[in-house]
Structure 1
Amino acid sequence: MTTTQAPFPTPAELSVMPCQAFTEALEGIFEHSAWVTQRAWHARPFDSVQALHKALLDAVSQADPADQLALIRAHPELAGKEAAQGTLTQASTQEQQGAGLDQCSADELARLRRLNAAYRERFGFPFIIAVKGLSRHQIMDAIDTRLLNSRDIELSTCLQEIGKIARFRLDARYS
């Protein structure tokens, strides 16, 4: 027997859901950070995916720095221990596979892990980039480049990248 997944609720349908149901429907848009959707719920109604995405981004931008840092730290390292242990979220797994991170040679994996460690050591949080459309080589080059940034620039860049990831994930649900 084949089961079909119910269509994802439209923005209008999301707009009339109680907060808990809204949060559950949007689970996974932001990595292990239900607080983002809980806060965005108050911006209802949503007349489009763009309006929903804007409300989600506004919730992040209006959050205090500690919550923003927690959001960044909720993300896994690229091809890191979560990937090796098979504990990534489904969305992260698909995204990392799409960028070819599951196909790294031993040398590439060693380089990526060195870069991840250097980045975490320098900034205190994992490197985040919206990997859709990027190759593993472009991702490693981006880490190299961003290691030269200040912590403030990287905090801002990570939040922008999380916003892109959220949009890609929303678009995937509505495609």
Structure 2
Amino acid sequence: MKPMQYTLEQLNTMPPEAFEAALSGIFEHSRWVAERAARMRPFGSIDALYAAMCEIVADAGAERQFALIDAHPELAGKAAVQGELTAESTREQSGAGLAHCSQEEFDKLQRLNEAYREKFGFPFILAVRGYDRAGVIANFEARLNNARSDELRTSLEQIYRIARFRIDDLVTG
């Protein structure tokens, strides 16, 4: 199911609460980003909206950034199995074929999720658009070799990519 779309002009002129609700899914379970962005309007372009939202996260401090990272679901994890993903995450994981894993792939993803969380203390994050299941698994395996500081940085970079995809799906010129 495709999300409702808004024009940039609509977003710039709607009441703050409506703006926040419209953009609340851009950063997973982190409405605070949209709340702060609402106070920065009007935006001259979709790129300016995206840049402002990313800057809000970048300036939020380590504790809030970690909470944002930790708010993301595991890929093909418990939330997916139980149907508890956000609409955005459901679309993204399904688009990468994660809803159609073989039992072997599913078991491997569960082991990778567990190993990653044990090593780094937060879920593996990948902007899965453009990946298939094999690509997701290969990326997962490669990143398990990284240092925690590298993974924190990479996770935020991936969150920014996810946000861009979500904004592009939601906002029209």
Gaps in structure 1 of 5+ consecutive residues: none
Q: Which amino acid in structure 1 is aligned with residue 42 of structure 2?
A: P
- Paired residues, number: 171
Deviations 1:92-131 (A, max 9, x none): 1111111011111111111111001000000100000000
Provide the identity percentage.
51
Tell whether the 8 Å contact from 2:113 to 2:123 is kept in structure 1 after alignment: yes
Specify which of 51, 55, 63 is matched with residue 54 of structure 1.
Answer: 51
Tell whether the 8 Å contact from 2:5 to 2:169 is kept in structure 1 after alignment: no
Q: Quote the Cα distance in structure 2 between the aligned partners of 1:58 and 1:40.
A: 10
How well do the aligned residues superpose, as a CA RMSD in angstroms?
Answer: 1.7
Q: Find the counterpart in structure 1 of residue 138 from structure 2.
A: 141
Q: Find the counterpart in structure 1 of residue 99 from structure 2.
A: 102
Q: Find the counterpart in structure 2 of residue 124 from structure 1.
A: 121
Tell whether the 8 Å contact from 1:37 to 1:56 is kept in structure 2 after alignment: yes
Deviations 1:130-156 (A, max 9, x none): 000001111111111111111111111
Residue 164 in structure 1 maps to residue 161 in structure 2: yes
TM-score between both structures, scaled by the size of structure 1:
0.92
TM-score between both structures, scaled by the size of structure 2:
0.93
Give the SS at the match of 1:43.
coil
Q: Alpha-carbon deviation of 1:91?
A: 1.1
Tell whether the 8 Å contact from 1:72 to 1:158 is kept in structure 2 after alignment: yes
Q: Quote the Cα distance in structure 2 between the aligned partners of 1:119 and 1:49.
A: 34
Higher RCO (C-alpha 8 Å, min separation 6): 2
Q: Find the counterpart in structure 2 of residue 77 from structure 1.
A: 74
Gaps in structure 2 of 5+ consecutive residues: none
Tell whether the 8 Å contact from 2:126 to 2:158 is kept in structure 1 after alignment: yes
Tell whether the 8 Å contact from 1:40 to 1:58 is kept in structure 2 after alignment: no
1:19-98 alignment runs, 5 A limit: 19-98=16-95
Tell whether the 8 Å contact from 1:76 to 1:126 is kept in structure 2 after alignment: yes
Q: Which amino acid in structure 2 is aligned with residue 44 of structure 1?
A: R
Structure 1 residues 6 and 132, CA gap change in structure 2 (3 angstroms): closer
Tell whether the 8 Å contact from 2:3 to 2:169 is kept in structure 1 after alignment: no
Q: Quote the Cα distance in structure 1 between the aligned partners of 2:51 and 2:163.
A: 10
Q: Quote the Cα distance in structure 1 between the aligned partners of 2:4 and 2:154.
A: 33
Q: Which amino acid in structure 2 is aligned with residue 167 of structure 1?
A: R
Give the SS at the match of 2:6.
coil
Q: Quote the Cα distance in structure 2 between the aligned partners of 1:7 and 1:111.
A: 35
Q: Alpha-carbon deviation of 1:7?
A: 5.9
Tell whether the 8 Å contact from 1:12 to 1:47 is kept in structure 2 after alignment: no
